[in-house]
């Protein structure tokens, strides 16, 4: 390959972050006829997570790296691969791509790992093809891939209603220190939703984002705790750390998070929990 060709190839490589998604509050209002549930949820996004790297290529390749690569595997049915196929169909694209997913978030953990990866892939493809982020076709592709993908595609704080994919942007948390912890115990989303008690306890209230989160709840938490009691232990461990202003499970679990006022308090909590439970996964980050 000539120097000019190598430079052109390097310039075509796109790196797109796939940050962890948090449900600051998750209120389940009703079961829907389509099998989903009517939700009201406050989405926010960490500054850290997975990464998708995409470049034009002579043939499609998909490679997974990172600490959770063996769990994901180079699976042709991965949401990243499905996102590429759906993008091609929606936009009439026939280009081939080499894609690498650096998988640093636990799988099936309530922080939108697969959805975030799919959304990052769509953003990278849109950037490469010069397609606007607010193109309605891109939103339609995201909705077809999963209920969390539109929020991850937006990638900023939002109120989600309907299945969680009807979105209104809201104020973020301004890089608030946060600690995400997962006991590395898989919790089935379908099983958690199936155990929801069916009681509508009301929607997300009004006010600022943090204030709404503080008075909110995660209606799936009791079901997740029944399936995986470790979730209860994890939440107790987070809530007992000095400086915590909110400790809650995200999504259907098992990842839980704690918000802090100060980075130092977060880091002290991270060290304390590592000492207590060295086998648990952690991510010390900030939430935008």
Q: Are 81 and 62 in contact (CB under 8 A)?
A: yes
The whole-angstrom separation of Cα 38 and Cα 124 is 30
Which of the residues are catalytic? Answer: 21, 148
Give the three-class secondary structure for 286. Answer: strand
The whole-angstrom separation of Cα 280 and Cα 182 is 6
Q: Are 282 and 19 in contact (CB under 8 A)?
A: no
Cis, peptide link before residue 254, omega less than 30° from 0: yes
Q: Are 55 and 14 in contact (CB under 8 A)?
A: yes
Q: What is the DSSP string of 150-164?
A: HHHHH-S-EEEEETT
Q: Which positions ≥6 away from 155 have C-beta within 8 Å?
A: 19, 45, 119, 123
The whole-angstrom separation of Cα 108 and Cα 241 is 26
Q: What is the DSSP string of 54-86?
A: EEEESS-EEEEESTTHHHH-S-TTSHHHHHHHH
């Amino acid at each position: 390959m000539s120097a000019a060709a190598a430079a052109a190839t390097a310039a075509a490589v796109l790196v797109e972050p796939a940050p962890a998604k948090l449900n600051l509050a998750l209120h389940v209002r009703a079961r829907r006829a389509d099998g989903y549930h009517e939700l009201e949820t406050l989405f926010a996004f960490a500054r850290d997570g997975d990464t998708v790297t995409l470049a034009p290529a002579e043939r499609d390749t998909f490679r997974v790296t990172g600490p959770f690569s063996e769990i994901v595997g180079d699976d042709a049915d991965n949401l990243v691969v499905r996102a590429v196929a759906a993008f091609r169909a929606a936009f009439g694209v026939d280009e081939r791509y080499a894609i690498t997913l650096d998988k640093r978030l636990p799988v099936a953990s309530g922080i939108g790992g697969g959805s975030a990866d799919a959304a990052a892939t769509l953003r990278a493809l849109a950037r490469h093809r010069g397609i606007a982020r607010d193109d309605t076709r891109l939103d339609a592709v995201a909705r077809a891939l999963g209920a969390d993908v539109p929020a991850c595609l937006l990638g900023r704080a939002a109120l989600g209603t309907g299945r969680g994919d009807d979105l209104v942007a809201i104020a973020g948390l301004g890089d608030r220190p946060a600690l995400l912890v997962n006991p590395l115990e898989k919790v089935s989303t379908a099983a958690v939703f199936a155990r929801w008690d069916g009681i509508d306890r009301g929607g997300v209230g009004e006010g600022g984002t943090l204030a709404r989160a503080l008075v909110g709840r995660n209606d799936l938490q009791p079901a997740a705790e029944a399936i995986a009691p470790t979730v209860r232990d994890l939440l107790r461990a987070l809530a007992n750390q000095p400086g915590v202003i909110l400790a809650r499970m995200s999504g259907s679990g098992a990842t839980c998070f704690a918000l802090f006022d100060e980075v130092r308090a977060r880091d002290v909590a991270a060290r304390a929990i590592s000492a207590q439970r060295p086998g648990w996964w952690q991510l010390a980050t900030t939430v935008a």
